[in-house]
Amino acid sequence: MASVLVPVVYIAIVLGSLLIFSRIYRKRAAGRRLDPYFPSHPERDLYVTLLGKSDPPAHDSLLKAALVRRAMTDVQRVMRLREDKPALQNLLQKGSIGDDLWNSLLAAEKELEAEVVEVVSEANTFVEGWGQIIFQTANEMLANEKMRAVFEDTDTCRQRKEEQYGKVGAKVDIPKLQPVIMPGPPPPGAPGAPGAPGQGIQIPPTLLNPSKGALAPKPSDTPSLPPTSPTKAT
């Protein structure tokens, strides 16, 4: 009897300890706050602050500009999530990162979805239908800012390259090339001209007029046909 109770008590102790451990772990995981994937959203806070001003109230143009700037930040975050999510998913499958970072990304994705819906609704309060194109406008403004940043950094980049490799576009003395004159045909009658006496190959006149010269067929070369007798009509 004792031999049967020992394994039963052992299994009960193991199962009970596993249940207690899982319950404690779940409570700690639920009470632990995940670190936000994006630290803050200053553009959203600025828009909410301007929207809440009542003495004096903010002008509509200022509110629209703040809302567009908020949408530009949302577009940047959407692009970053699209780039980071496949890489983090691959690292999570390999066990290189923990679940905390992955859960933080999923929470940021849900928060960003709610943020996009809120921006669209706020844009429609100013102009009906503006919420459908506000993110397209924000994307174009981001591209414009990138191009302007590259253009403004041209002088700094040029100075940096000149310090590293020397002055760009310095004058280099290139030797002048002498023109090469190709000799033309000599004038008629000059030495070396075609047809001059003693120069070149003389063309026999018989070749110029084949009907009277060597190219004309000789009588012996012409095949003779046998005479044909006239046929009598029957």
DSSP string covering 192-229: TSTT-TTSS-PPPHHHHSTTTSTTSPPTTTSPPPPPPP
Do residues 122 and 67 lie in contact, with contact meaning Cβ atoms separated by under 8 Å? yes
Q: What pLDDT does 182 receive?
A: 61
Q: What's residue 161's pLDDT?
A: 80
> What is the pTM for the complete model shown?
0.56
φ and ψ of 59, to 5 deg: -70, 155
For residues 170 and 161, the answer to whether their CB atoms sit within 8 Å is: no
Respond yes or no on whether the N-terminal peptide bond of residue 57 is cis (omega within 30° of 0). no
Taking the C-alpha atoms of residue 76 and residue 119, their distance in angstroms, rounded to an integer, is 14
Residue 177 is predicted with a pLDDT of 66
Q: Tell me the per-residue pLDDT of 42-51, one tens digit each, with 9 for 90 and over.
A: 999 999 999 9
Sign of the torsion formed by the C-alpha atoms of 82, 84, 89 and 90:
positive
Residue 60: both structure tokens together = 């509509």
* Residue 65 confidence (pLDDT): 94
Instruction: Return the number of other C-beta atoms located less than 10 Å from residue 93's C-beta.
Output: 9
Report in angstroms the alpha-carbon separations of 97 from 2, 26, 88, 101, 229: 48, 20, 8, 7, 114
Report residues of the chain scoring pLDDT below 70: 1-3, 25-34, 167-234
Distance of alpha carbon 143 from the chain centroid: 14
Q: Where are the domains of the chain?
A: 38-158
Instruction: Say if residues 66 and 48 touch (Cβ distance below 8 Å).
Output: no
- Helical segments of the chain, H only: 2-31, 42-52, 60-94, 99-126, 134-152, 154-165, 205-208
Taking Cα atoms as reference points, which of 40, 41, 38, 35 lies closest to residue 101?
35
Q: Which of 116, 110, 28, 105 is CA-nearest to residue 71? A: 116
